[in-house]
Amino acid sequence: MSFRFSRFGEHFDSRLGTLSLMQDLGDAAENPDTLMLGGGNPARIPAVESRFADYLTALSHDTAGTTTQLAAYADPAGDRRFRRAVVTLLNREYGFGISERNVCLSNGSQNGFFALMNLLGGTRADGSLQRILLPMTPEYLGYADLWVDQPAFVAHRPTIELLDDRLFKYRVDFDSISIGDDIGALCLSRPTNPTGNVVTDDELNRLDRMAQAANVPLIVDNAYGEPFPGITAHDITPTWNDNTVLCMSLSKVGLPGVRTGIIVAHHDIVERIAAMNAVMNLAPGNFGPTLMADAVENGDILRLAREHIRPHYQAISKQAINTLLDATAGTPVRLHKPEGAIFLWLWAPDLGGTSEQLYQRLKSEGVVVVAGHHFFPGLEGDWTHRHECLRISFAGGAEPVAKAAPRIARAIKELYP
């Protein structure tokens, strides 16, 4: 049977990069022999999960309170106690000076970004297109397919700094950036998914000044950053002002299943997201906020991030990067300097094929990565670099990377002229 879909419906076919990634995750769960180095599932960290179990046990003992909480819809902006806990933590630790009106929850950060991108990008009342500017690509593939109307990204290439030890680093090319009247917001992830890049404080402040001068918000996707989960190689200090939209999540703390996204923004933005929550969901889910309200309010979530989550990923990252560099010795392969997040970003300059070919070859050999070309939403023109990269997750531990490294190296070497 052939159905007639709307333009919105036609968008959701089988070619979406986000869909491919999540299907790979599901397929890998059915085959324990697959080396799943593609998905974004966080690591299972025993000390962290033990603390989650403590909070879950406490909920189970507070039968009356928990039942009352979970048996009712939350406010459209999300559970009020949890939002107050977020306010308390951010004001106490960083002096944000925010109130409950500045905090909105969503059913996961992906759901929150769907709301943000379509609030600030898309077709204006006069029929013109308002776009979201990505100051630097590669960027998170999950942004690419969020549009209700039509893709509304404009993106810029970074400069590439070659470093010692076969590493490299992307930097914002400020000379290429101009914020025209068609721009509705700037957006970047920090640390960046997929590369692990951390935009410096100076770069972030410069982007903030540019955004304020243009009277558009700066969206900072903090899914891997400070204050939690804190998966960074060095300390960075979160900042906020009325022009900043700071997005956080409970997912990479280790709770992706509770689908709790957190947006800290000007109350005009928060009120509109709350309205979208009411229309699409009635209200965000209560379970994640109920489970973690105490941990956020008392700062335990920061202790978990600093004492367990960050050290865990730092140790694996060092092992994984050495393994991949050793396996690809004698090739031009470089890895992005690992500054945060849970991925390594491999660049094979002058590759004789494409990242999609690499992805397919490796998948046939039981290794699932993510082809690099998915991570350049809004970048116009032909840039060979986008077809020379792979995202490799090390969240599953150093051992899967060690097992996969020889296969990755072999597939790359087979594609070189």
Task: Give the tens place of pLDDT for each residue, 246-290.
Answer: 999 999 999 999 999 999 999 999 999 999 999 999 999 999 999
Q: How confident is the model at residue 29 (pLDDT cuts 50, 70, 90)?
A: low
- Please report the pLDDT score of residue 28 as a whole number: 56
What tens digit of pLDDT does each residue of 222-231 get? 999 999 999 9
Residue 395 has pLDDT above 80, yes or no: yes
- Please report the pLDDT score of residue 22 as a whole number: 59
Q: Which of 73-77, 146-150, 171-175, 290-294 has the lowest mean pLDDT?
A: 146-150
Q: Give the chain's mean pLDDT.
A: 92
Contact call for residues 216 and 183 (beta carbons, < 8 A)? yes
Q: Write down all domains in the chain, each with its CATH number in brackets.
A: 7-47+304-415 (3.90.1150.10), 68-299 (3.40.640.10)
pLDDT above 70 as % of the chain: 94
What tens digit of pLDDT does each residue of 7-25 get? 777 767 655 556 665 566 5
Q: Tell which wins on pLDDT, 30 or 96.
A: 96
Residue 153 has pLDDT above 80, yes or no: yes
- Please report the pLDDT score of residue 31 as a whole number: 66
Phi, psi of 15 (to 5 degrees): -95, 0
Q: Which of 27-31, 39-43, 98-102 has the lowest mean pLDDT?
A: 27-31
273 contact partners, CB below 8 Å, separation of at least 6: 77, 104, 106, 112, 115, 116, 119, 263, 265
Tokens of 87: 């306010």
- Please report the pLDDT score of residue 235 as a whole number: 81
- Please report the pLDDT score of residue 13 as a whole number: 66
> Stretch 123-149: mean pLDDT, rounded?
92
The secondary structure of the chain, three-state, reads: CCCCCCHHHHCCCCCCHHHHHHHHHHHHHHCCCCEECCCCCCCCCHHHHHHHHHHHHHHHHCHHHHHHHHCCCCCCCCCHHHHHHHHHHHHHHHCCCCCHHHEEEECCHHHHHHHHHHHHCEECCCCCEEEEEECCCCCCHHHCCCCCCCCCEEECCCEEEECCCCEEEEECCHHHCCCCCCEEEEEEECCCCCCCCCCCHHHHHHHHHHHHHHCCCEEEECCCCCCCCCCECCCCCCCCCCCEEEEEECCCCCCHHHCCEEEECCHHHHHHHHHHHHHHCCCCCCHHHHHHHHHHHCCHHHHHHHHHHHHHHHHHHHHHHHHHHHHCCCCCCEEECCCECCEEEEECCCCCCCHHHHHHHHHHCCEECEEHHHHCCCCCCCCHHHHCEEEEECCCCHHHHHHHHHHHHHHHHHHCC
Q: Which of 141-150, 244-253, 364-373 has the lowest mean pLDDT?
A: 141-150
> Stretch 231-245: mean pLDDT, rounded?
92
Alpha carbon of 404 to those of 155, 164, 337, 357: distances in Å? Answer: 32, 24, 20, 17
